[in-house]
Amino acid sequence: MHAVAASSGPADRILALLRAAEGQELTGVAIARTLGVSRAAVWKQMDQLRAHGYVIEATPGRGYRLAAAPQHLVETEVRAHLRTTCFGRFLRVLAEVDSTNRHLGALADQGATEGTVIVADAQTAGRGRLARTWFSPPGRNLYFSVLLRPAVEPSLAVTLPLLAGCTVANVLAAVAPELDAQVRIKWPNDIWLGPRKLCGVLCEMQAETDRVHHVVVGIGLNVNLGRDELPPALRASATSLAIAAGHPFDRAGLLAALLARFETDYLLWSERGLAPFLADLRARDLLYDRPLVVEQAGRVVQGRGAGIQADGSLVLVAPDGSRQDICSGDVHVRLGVRA
């Protein structure tokens, strides 16, 4: 994993100073001196920050004070929270894009470095697994993609959706402890809260038989969506953090926490594979001991979920007691039916 240069501009640095002042005023002269820029440059940046939705109060003779940060997702705000060394050090937060996965995949083909992150406030053609779409309205959720170039065999790289699921589950448990007991991982790529889907992971890999070129890990997480904002078709099956917790979440802070944990988890996974994550995966396995229907290219198999294995496959025990390793497919839980 390579660290790339942080691209923090003057607005980011002014923001960092205002935040460090914790609500106290800072004079334009002091800011200009600290950053080695002119006072005119400081005024210009203050205007830019205000245009991005920051409320910056200016009191004559006393200076500038950060009164409020914007609610919508902006690059400066995400960067202000970032604590990573690699993930998101090259970062773009777009107001709208067709799909962050498609956009980042194109950047990857042009040689973008590992850890590049594309975030969008809205997607017009968000992609889900199995050619589905991902509901991506503006101002509410997180839609982001991380570029990985793991030096591992493709057979290990296919476990990345589980790794990402594990990361998301653990971050959610930390930021919303009241929801911890409900956070479940649905093999191979979803996070559920109780009986509803909260988050989907879409990993798109470019590889040869024995070598991975890159993997775009795309994560869509319903954060502040209200129940009445969900399309009727999703209302029974999807949820958001805010619906479940009863209060909104700071998307920029949440995104930074996800990137930080994902970076740490990815480093460990690069060294030791999925093994260190199996205990968490098994503890949060939604499918364990549930009656399942698995649709695989042209065939349907039924059985009971019997755990996730070290290679990332799902064990299914058929009604006759035979075991099958499921490596791919669309899994439906027969809710309400106990095995």
Q: How many angstroms separate the CA atoms of 171 and 180, rounded?
A: 10
Q: How many angstroms separate the CA atoms of 279 and 334, rounded?
A: 25
Nearer to ligand BTN by Cβ, of 100 and 239: the residue is: 100
The answer to whether 129 contacts ligand BTN (rule: CB under 6 A) is yes
Q: Which stretch binds ligand BTN (CB under 6 A): 34-42, 127-135, 238-246, 331-339?
A: 127-135
Residue type at 81?
Answer: H
Backbone φ and ψ of 171, nearest 5°: -65, -40
Nearer to ligand BTN by Cβ, of 15 and 120: the residue is: 120
Q: How many angstroms separate the CA atoms of 227 and 229, rounded?
A: 5
Q: Which of 115, 126, 273, 312 binds ligand BTN (CB under 6 A)?
A: 126
Exposure string for 158-191, b = 16+ CB within 10 A, e = fewer: bbbbbbbbbbbbbbbbebbeebeebbbbbbbbbb
What's the length of the chain? 339
- By Cβ distance, which residue is nearest to ligand BTN? 200
The answer to whether 220 contacts ligand BTN (rule: CB under 6 A) is yes
The answer to whether 105 contacts ligand BTN (rule: CB under 6 A) is no
Backbone φ and ψ of 220, nearest 5°: -115, 120
Q: Which stretch binds ligand BTN (CB under 6 A): 33-41, 83-91, 218-226, 275-283?
A: 218-226
The answer to whether 240 contacts ligand BTN (rule: CB under 6 A) is no
The answer to whether 145 contacts ligand BTN (rule: CB under 6 A) is yes
Residue type at 100?
Answer: T
Nearer to ligand BTN by Cβ, of 63 and 218: the residue is: 218
Q: How many angstroms separate the CA atoms of 231 and 23, rounded?
A: 40
Residue entry with tokens 């005023």: 25
The answer to whether 100 contacts ligand BTN (rule: CB under 6 A) is yes
The answer to whether 313 contacts ligand BTN (rule: CB under 6 A) is no
Q: Which of 54, 64, 90, 134 binds ligand BTN (CB under 6 A)?
A: 134
Rule CB under 6 A: which residues touch ligand BTN? 99-101, 123, 126-129, 132, 134, 143-145, 189-190, 200-202, 218-220
